[in-house]
Amino acid sequence: MKKPESPWMDEELTLFRDNVRKFIAAEITPHEAQWAEQQFVDRSLWRKAGAAGLLCTDVPEEYGGAGGTFAHEAVILEEQAYAGNTAWAKGVHEIVTHYIVGCGTPEQKKRWLPKLVSGEMVGAIAMTEPGTGSDLQAVRTRAERSGSDYVINGAKTFISNGHHAGLLIIVCKTDPTSAAKGISLIVAEHPATLPGFKRGRLLHKIGQKGQDTAELFFEDLRVPAENLLGGREGQGFYQLMNQLPRERLIIGVGAIAAAEAALHHTLAYVRERKAFGKTLLEFQNTRFKLAERQTELTIGRVFIDHCIQKLLEGKLDAATASMAKWWGTQKQCEIVDECLQFFGGFGYMTEYPIARMYQDARVQKIYGGTNEIMKELIARSLE
């Protein structure tokens, strides 16, 4: 299967893609089984990726980045999906980085961005709480000003990169009497070294087993007041909403690429697998089903490429990004499920990539805002 050439690709990005593919083949793929067993990637991967220029590629050069664009990030996301890599939560690291780029003070950018670019720090964002889910305005984690610090109390769960987090953005209430306007983002540097911070268990998941997902607890955790992102209280909800289109496109890009990979594996299988004296691809049902999936993927590819171009132009709106996240992840789950069926019993064995793709896909419809929330946001744009 040959996917359509994306209009945002150029010669430089083609060479970059080749380097990304080689890095994944050498530094990620051989370790997937080990990482799934230990539930997190090796810490050294982040520094290797930083040295290879694969972290924060669209961060300005003045802060240590490569000065690239989101197109470079899209290439990496696609290659991770094509390789079946879900253990390395690079997308979360990049989302955190762009909170700093988009909302940080000049001093905060100079202090934190070079360390995120190099892999010295791994980025994580402590957003979800046991009782909040998608309702961010209802967060209960509290930050109270005490002299030159904020004292933070609360608990977070499902935190990607929570095990390795060296720079943790904490979503908390600085004004508990307000809803959205009471939320602030406070950054904890090397939180594991701070009194009052505790990592809970690494959470066992249906899929994405090699990606560390942790519980975090704060009990009188003191963070310098200068670490309030942007320097003003009550800006947290706006800061979160401002970055969500990019976050949701990241999920959509990975979803379409993963579905493309699923179809690629399936085509290779049905060309070789025989039943009743002929290959599976010779059966009309196989051909028609895969023709439908190819059509859907071509539509998805064109739409995702459109969204990438819009983001590159600074014109991607929240409703369209929500469409990319909802439709992309929905089709990913549908296509992977139907592709698995062609493998029969082998599709249920985790030694086959299609089985792992099936496990890994399900959460895509949940994180980054559930698909039900995406539909609500799209619906609001119709009013």
Domain with CATH 2.40.110.10 in the chain: 123-233
What is d(CA 192, CA 198) in angstroms, rounded to the nearest whole number?
A: 7
DSSP state of 66: -
According to CATH, where is 1.20.140.10 located in the chain? 238-380
Q: Has residue 262 got a pLDDT over 70?
A: yes
Question: What band does 90 get if pLDDT is binned at 50, 70 and 90?
Answer: very high
Q: Which residues contact 33 (CB under 8 A, 6 or more apart)?
A: none
Q: What is the pLDDT of residues 4-42, one digit of tens each?
A: 689 999 999 999 999 999 999 999 999 999 999 999 999
pLDDT tens digits for range 312-323: 999 999 999 999
What percent of the chain has a predicted confidence (pLDDT) above 90? 93
Burial class (CB in 10 A: 0-12, 13-18, 19+), 259: buried
Using a pLDDT cut of 70, give the percent of the chain over it: 98
CATH topology of domain 238-380: Butyryl-CoA Dehydrogenase, subunit A; domain 3 (1.20.140)
Tell me how far CA of residue 376 lies from CA of 73, 188, 318, 366, 380, in angstroms.
28, 33, 11, 14, 6
Residues of the chain with CATH 1.10.540.10: 11-118
Total Cβ atoms within 10 A of residue 72: 22
Are residues 331 and 262 in contact, defined by beta-carbon separation less than 8 angstroms? Answer: no
> Which CATH code fits 11-118?
1.10.540.10
pTM: 0.95
Q: Kindly report the CATH class assigned to 123-233.
A: mainly beta
Which residues are marked as active site? 247
Predicted confidence (pLDDT) at residue 135 exceeds the cutoff of 90: no
Q: Answer for the pair 113, 59: CB distance below 8 angstroms, yes or no.
A: yes
132 or 201, higher pLDDT: 201
